Structure 1
Amino acid sequence: MTADDFQRLVRTRRVARQFLPTPVNRALLDALLMDAQHSPSNCNTQPWVVHVVSGATRDVLSKALRAADARGDLTPDFEFDMQSYTGVHAQRAQSSGRARYEAINVARDDRPGRLAAMQHNLSFFDAPHVALLFMPRIHDYVRSASDVGMYAQTFLLSLHARGLAGIPQTLLGLYAQTIREVLGIEEEMKLMFGISFGYADPQSPANFVAVGRAPLCESVTQHV
């Protein structure tokens, strides 16, 4: 791979919010996971514990998530509050959300439409697979969480390189206990988020949302 190839790969990756039902074959799935397994981690601890859910189990899990949502049964392992984003971070989130809803023709005051769009997360945007990223408790979780983030990035880039797509879903982490119960995962494993993945639907306007990136001067200071 040349530098130009890598630049194109990184800069053209997009999340997908609507997938085809076509499953990823086992050989390709194993190759994707092996790519991610080569992610860097602190002291090579490789703390990620990944559960890939497909087929009938995926459908059972989606049904359980919808039921938990209807009950208001939120069991996050880690705090998440959109209101904690302020200033430029809030502006970026709002801009991204606005572009996403405009792409699927859901107006700002269309509360049922927005609720339906949110709940689409719980069916994994119709993706045939979802990878759920867990980790054990190691001190305050911070370094392990960064390792899981690097694993996720490698996995997302591998998907894109192989003609597939994925979407990280923080919202799935709000139902950690439901997911553990359905999949029989021990309590010690803490859920960060999930990545739904498969073949993006080329006809869906939800998959053509450009949200842009901040200029380097807003994020990087160079000391010389």
Structure 2
Amino acid sequence: MTDPTFADVVRTRCSTRHFLATAVDPRQIQGILEDAQRAPSNCNTQPWQVHIVSGRSREAVSEAMLEAADRQAYSPDFSWDDAAYTGVLGERRQEQGKTYYQALGIAKDDREARVKAWRDNLRFFGAPHAAFLFMPEVGDGVRVASDIGMYAQTFLLSLTSRGLVGVPQTLLGMFADPVREVLGIGSEMKLLFGISFGYEDVSGLSARVRMERAPLAESVQFHD
């Protein structure tokens, strides 16, 4: 069996929301982190601070986020506004949500089932590991956040190349305070988002969900 090409890895990577409980070999995780460390960054500043949770620390963080969610005690370090996504961006958001909930067999008006599915985010969708991506405050944060994005993509592609899967979760960033408290992280480090990762549970109801991408003409313009 031949190794996958770069194109294979890019085109097969997907955001998985059903995981097996099987832990990933620590040597594999080390290799993924070494790959991700090669990500580009502004002036090679490498501003990412990554905290991997597994085992008891994973459970403690999950419990803390769920407890905060019960109290609606959200503590995002960065603003989030659903209504800010207008036009085609809003349409794509709605289509993703519709496709996912339909795959789970959850009706639009089934609020109880939707809340349960939402809370699965805070259980890492059953993944045995999660990476929390923190960043320092530098200016308006845009440059550093873009560096974290490049790190995250490299991390996700490394997972795919090794037969593993992951899902970036903005929602984990909505609970920055309890995550910092459990992990002993100072308030000067800001939580951007997290990535749950491990082995895919292919029997999961959403395992076959694959979101389409917009045609290049909607995103790219050529100038001669």
Instruction: Say if 2:195 is the partner of 1:195.
Output: yes
Quote the Cα distance in structure 2 between the aligned partners of 1:122 and 1:206: 17
Deviations 1:2-23 (A, max 9, x none): 9x81112111111110100001
Question: Could you report, residue by residue, the CA deviation over 1:16-60 in whole angstroms, capped at 9, with x for unpaired residues?
Answer: 101000011111010000000000000000000000000011011
1:159 aligned counterpart, secondary structure: helix
How far residue 81 of structure 1 moved from its aligned partner, in angstroms, is 1.1
Distance in structure 1 (CA, Å) of the matches to 2:207 and 2:149: 23
Output the CA distance in 2 between the equivalents of 1:203 and 1:28: 24
What residue is the counterpart of 1:164 in the other structure? 164
Q: What residue ranges of structure 2 are gaps of 5+ in the alignment?
A: none
Q: What is the number of residues matched between the two proteins?
A: 222
Pairs within 5 Å for 1:1-224? 5-224=5-224
Give me the whole-angstrom Cα distance separating, in 1, the residues matched to 2:202 and 2:215. Answer: 29
CA separation in 2, counterparts of 1:136 and 1:55? 27
Write the distance in 2 (CA, Å) between the matches of 1:84 and 1:109: 24
The answer (yes or no) to whether the contact 1:16–1:165 under 8 Å persists in 2 is yes
- C-alpha displacement of 1:102: 0.7
- Tell me the distance in 2 between the aligned counterparts of 1:130 and 1:202: 19
Letter in 2 for 1:87: G
- Deviating above 4 A after TM superposition, structure 1's stretches of 4 or more consecutive aligned residues are none
CA distance in 2, matches of 1:201, 1:59: 20
Greater CA deviation, 200-209 or 50-59? 200-209
Check conservation: 1:15, 1:207, Cα contact below 8 A: no
Native 8 Å contact 1:16 1:200 kept in 2: yes
Q: Distance in 1 between matches of 2:92 and 2:7?
A: 23
Shift of 1:191: 0.3
Q: Which amino acid aligns with 2:101?
A: Y
Q: Which amino acid aligns with 2:64?
A: A
What is the TM-score normalised by the length of structure 1?
0.97
- Could you say what secondary structure the match of 1:206 adopts? coil
Shift in Å, 1:205: 2.0
* Aligned CA-pair RMSD: 1.1
Indicate conservation of the 8 Å contact 1:99/1:210, yes or no. Answer: no
Once the two structures are superposed, what CA deviation does each residue of 1:121-164 show, in whole Å capped at 9, x if it has no partner? 01000100000000001111000000000000000000001000
Taking every aligned residue pair, what percent have the same amino acid on both sides? 54
